[in-house]
């Protein structure tokens, strides 16, 4: 899968994946979504990103999780 709205540049934010053309880390957007913030609220805090940027950040995170095993606690 290709991500046109996500960029990794080692000279920007130390190579942390960001919304292309910004210094907004994908992880920041994900944390805002996880906290229950609407796309409109996220855009109010970061007007330089679009609703499409938020959606692609979610797709990027899903692809990243699919690429590796994460340590999870087993059992009930």
Read off the pLDDT of residues 12-23 as tens digits, 9 standing for 90 and up. Answer: 999 999 999 999
Based on the number of CB atoms within 10 Å of its own CB, is 31 exposed (0-12), middle (13-18) or buried (19 or more)? exposed
CA distance 18 to 22: 7
Assign 68 a pLDDT band (cuts: 50, 70, 90): confident
The torsion angle over the Cα atoms of residues 25, 15, 68 and 49, rounded to 10 degrees, is 20
pLDDT at residue 65, as a whole number: 86
Read off the pLDDT of residues 22-61 as tens digits, 9 standing for 90 and up. Answer: 999 999 999 999 999 999 999 999 999 999 999 999 999 9
Domains in the chain, please, with CATH? 6-66 (1.10.10.10)
Q: Helix, strand or coil for residue 49?
A: coil
CA distance 68 to 4: 22
């Amino acid at each position: 899968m290709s991500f046109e709205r996500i960029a990794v540049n080692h000279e920007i934010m130390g190579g942390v994946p960001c919304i292309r053309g910004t210094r907004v880390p994908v992880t920041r957007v994900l944390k805002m979504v996880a906290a229950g913030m609407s796309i409109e609220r996220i855009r109010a805090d970061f007007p330089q990103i679009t609703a499409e940027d938020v959606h692609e950040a979610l797709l990027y995170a899903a692809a990243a999780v699919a690429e590796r095993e994460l340590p999870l606690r087993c059992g009930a």
